[in-house]
Amino acid sequence: MTTPIPQPPGVPLLGNIFDIDTNNTWWSLKTLAEKYGEIFQIKVLGHRIVFVAGAALAEELCDEKRFRKYVGGPIVEIRYAVHDSLFTAFHDEASWGIAHRIIAPQLTPAAVASHFDDLIRCTDELLTKWRGLDPETRFRPLDDLNRLNVEAITLTLFGKHLNSLNGPEHPIIRAMEDATSEAMKRPNRPKLLNWLVHGSKFKKATKALRDFAAELVKDRKENPSDRQDLLWTLMNATDPETGTALTDSQVIDEIVTMPIGSSTAPCAIAASILLLLQNPDALVKARDEIDAVVGDGPFTQEHVAQLHYVAGLVRETLRLSCAAPGFNIEPIPKPGDESPVLLAGGKYQVPHNQTMIIVLAGVNRDPAVFEEPLAFRPERMMGDSFERLPAGVKKWFGNGKRECIGKHWAWEFLVVVTAKLIREVDFEAVDPDYKLKQDGWFNVRPIDFQARAKPRSR
């Protein structure tokens, strides 16, 4: 006999509509996960969604023989901006495989390492800005880290230096925010309201994103380069299996997808600054390692793999910050078979076509896996301790076939930027009693976390 899946008590007709804050969906789901545990469900206007917040169940749902990525809701909405890109393609669209085979060689660890100098250049520009601030100046680290992300993506992958770390914020940052927030909210609104009231915002944001990508293509055509980076690949390479090249529109799609997909990285680093301020012993250990490995010389690509404690620190930040907050899963259809899907060895059952969302804020804090799950302990994310952890709590880049294609770029960015800021800058929280609260759309980030910065005192 199966166990009923827990559900908050709703209201007549509307169901659980008041249990989810549509302006902060992921925080609502984190709160529900803390209350209901490894699995729960909500019903809104008769529509049911199941959420998984336990490590063992998450690992079960990542079995690609039984389940696959669900492309629906907000992911379908963002297709307005990026069409059938890597992130948004349906399972039966050949475009996913074509794009993946074209792009993947440019995002291997070796390919990412070849752009190390460009990443250092961008990071040094940000650190110069922070070291030059008046010690009493208040700022939101996330704002500048968002700028750094766009600058680094554009330089390393597309060969264009935007010079956007100072002065007005680059328009693409606002366009990403508006497009992703609209994509999250549109499924919960009447279609007429989306069209009449909110349609212009979505269109304006999409135009800004695609104009940005088109300008990069135009600039490369007008200024040919022997730099065979991702932009060159998108514009010139063909699929090794089919011989198919990307259309002009598909090139734009994939360019736009990259900064949206990488926007979780600055969210994680902003959280890392906060966690290090709250855990000064971890900061001391990280600095000791960096000083021992790098010394007084330049930080090089070879140093990245030697920073074991920093790597653990980054993983522990990804665990607690859940910058990429979750992903959607559905059972793989079995033609003619509509029998319920059993979970946890038959403990739970869901309909054959049930959408399920893995909530990493629950999975990554599962007390069945982590002792003191809310504590910041980089050591548990190092060496054998990390290797022994179940696969279900290591899904910060997604899962399987549809795992983030840019995970190696993201890892390099996270380790390099984190190590550089630890090595070179002293931070102070404006509010020493600040407690982490997050919001976000396709990413989650600290709300109103402010800091002061000065050159590191050695």
Per this entry, what is the length of the chain?
Answer: 458
Coil/strand/helix, residue 121: helix
CA distance 103 to 106: 6
Q: What is the pLDDT of residues 146-176, one digit of tens each?
A: 999 999 999 999 999 999 999 999 999 999 9
Neighbours of 125 (CB within 10 A): 18
Give residue-wise pLDDT tens across range 351-379.
Answer: 999 999 999 999 999 999 999 999 999 99
Residues 200-232 have pLDDT tens digits of 999 999 999 999 999 999 999 999 999 999 999
Strand order across the 67-69 sheet: 39-44, 47-52, 356-359, 326-331, 67-69
Mean of all residue pLDDT scores within the chain: 96
Specify whether the CB–CB gap between 101 and 424 falls below 8 A.
no
pLDDT score, position 115: 97
| 205-230 residues labelled b (16+ CB within 10 A) or e (exposed) | bbebbbebbbebbeebeeeeeeeebb
What gap in Å lies between CA 247 and CA 102, rounded to an integer?
12
- pTM score, whole prediction: 0.96
Q: Which H/E stretch holds residue 306?
A: none
User: Which residues contribute to the annotated binding site?
Assistant: 404
Contact predicate 430/452, CB 8 Å: yes
Domains and CATH numbers, the chain: 17-455 (1.10.630.10)
Question: What is the per-residue pLDDT for 57?
Answer: 98
44-98 residue pLDDT tens: 888 899 999 999 999 999 999 999 999 999 999 999 999 999 999 999 999 999 9
**In whole angstroms, what is the distance from residue 259 CA to residue 152 CA?**
9
DSSP, collapsed to helix, strand or coil, labels residue 209 as helix
- pLDDT by residue (tens digit) across 384-417? 999 999 999 999 999 999 999 999 999 999 999 9
Cα angle 169, 413, 263; round to 5: 45
What integer pLDDT is reported at residue 190 of this predicted model? 79
Q: How far is the C-alpha of 342 from the C-alpha of 351, rounded, in Å?
A: 9
Known binding-site positions for heme? 404
Region of 133 on the Ramachandran plot (φ > 0 left; ψ -120 to 50 alpha; else beta): beta
Distances (CA, A) of 405 to 23, 96, 231: 28, 12, 15
